[in-house]
Structure 1
Amino acid sequence: MQIGNQYDNEKRNNLQQHKDQCAGLTELEIFDIDSYLPDHGLPNILSVIARYSDKYNIICSSLGPKLSAISLYKAYGAFPNIALTYVPTKEYSFTYSKGIKKSIKNTF
């Protein structure tokens, strides 16, 4: 889950809400990342993938903030056996993203 107080993260990323949504459907491990850091949360993502990649099929998706897509792409480079997926939205909010007031640059 994205940590921090940007964009009402504390309210929107409610741990119990996520657990309730997945109850009875799958095992769930929730871990914190901060996609706004220069590493976009990559070390945390790599750590979790490393723990499970030998035993499970892993499917990763950037659900927000979209900066996490950068770290997921890099994780795919380190673990090409994982799958990346994108789930398009059915609704579009014109006020969804106001920006973070700074440039984010990365090299691939």
Structure 2
Amino acid sequence: MTTPHDARARGEAIERIAASWLTERGLRLLASNQHAKGGELDLVMQDGDTLVFVEVKHRTTARHGHPLETVTAAKQRRLVKAALFYLQRNRLSCPCRFDVLAVTGQSSAFEFHWVQGAFEAF
């Protein structure tokens, strides 16, 4: 049985791997695990002049659905709210986008599916 602590540690490890993978593709990590009112931002990265809020989702298999399916409209609203709080707290005004990075598999053979501009702030 997995404890909440184990799940949290595994999630943080996946987020570090995801940040490294995205860095190799030209993004720059600015922050991770940013808690904000109503939500948490997994990764805050920079892609040129654009601030990128990255939601990282992992599943070892797609047996119960692909990780991308877990980013529901409700989840998107929470991410937008958290991003607005982050922008306000840091006094930022810049182009932004929301990406989702789905990671599947085990550590020996992760597969990455990166959706840039996965959804818009509504």
Which interval holds the TM-score relative to the shorter structure?
0.3 to 0.5
Judging by fraction of residues, say which structure has more strand: 2
Compare relative contact order (CA 8 Å, sep 6+) and give the higher one, 1 or 2.
Answer: 2
Question: What is the TM-score of this pair, normalised by structure 2?
Answer: 0.35
Question: What is the TM-score of this pair, normalised by structure 1?
Answer: 0.37
